[in-house]
Chains A and B, each alone.
Chain A
């Protein structure tokens, strides 16, 4: 079945530094990738939608200059949290949608980011 690999699974960084999270579709081509943020005991909040080769579409209230998304190929999207602050600490999850029409959504295993 479709597999999405997300790395790293957890990361601790200092305030002010940047962190990059990778999301790869291993056995299928992803038309679209989605990035979500999840706070403890809460639902997933969609941050942005990225299509290969074009700029990401950010949801209202999400700072595009802080959360940089790059979707360079049909199998790789990256989320870079720039100048991270403790309030950016969260669980980030990516999802990839298959190229075929009506393709399902496959989720990565998530990245636990802690900013100290």
Chain B
């Protein structure tokens, strides 16, 4: 069974500092990987996703993530945090084959950006 672990339920950074949100997955085969952002009382917005190809994926709002198969990781980074980045971030996996296509989410990480 697939699972996702996000290390750190709460991350606090200063504005302009590097953002690093950690995500590790467990899967017998490399899955599809996603990062979503959620603002209060809203749905989820896709930041980026990895399916195949280049392991460094660039997303919206300056975020990027690198798929590292050897480490079963898909950490999310942004060089310089902005106040508007404060939100809840979810890492998710889905099977790369088969038809179920279920997205399994990590526990989420709250990003706080201090002025």
Contact = CB atoms under 8 A, between A and B. Distances in A.
A102 B53 CA distance: 14
Nearest to B34: A105
Interface string A97-115: 1000010111111101000
Nearest to A49: B102
Interface of B: 34, 36, 41-46, 49, 51, 90, 94, 100-108
A43 B51 contact: no
A91 interface: yes
A97 B46 CA distance: 13
27 contacts: A4-B43, A32-B101, A34-B103, A42-B108, A43-B90, A43-B105, A43-B107, A43-B108, A44-B44, A44-B105, A46-B104, A49-B100, A49-B102, A91-B41, A93-B43, A102-B51, A104-B49, A105-B34, A105-B94, A106-B46, A107-B36, A107-B43, A107-B44, A107-B45, A108-B43, A109-B42, A110-B43
A95 interface: yes
Contacts of A97: 101
Nearest to A97: B101
Interface residues of A, number: 22
A106 B46 CA distance: 8
A6 interface: yes
A110 B106 CA distance: 18
Contacts of B94: 105
Contacts of A91: 41
A53 to B, nearest CB: 15
A34 B43 CA distance: 13
A95 to B, nearest CB: 7
Contacts of A104: 46, 49
Nearest to B9: A41
Nearest to A10: B41
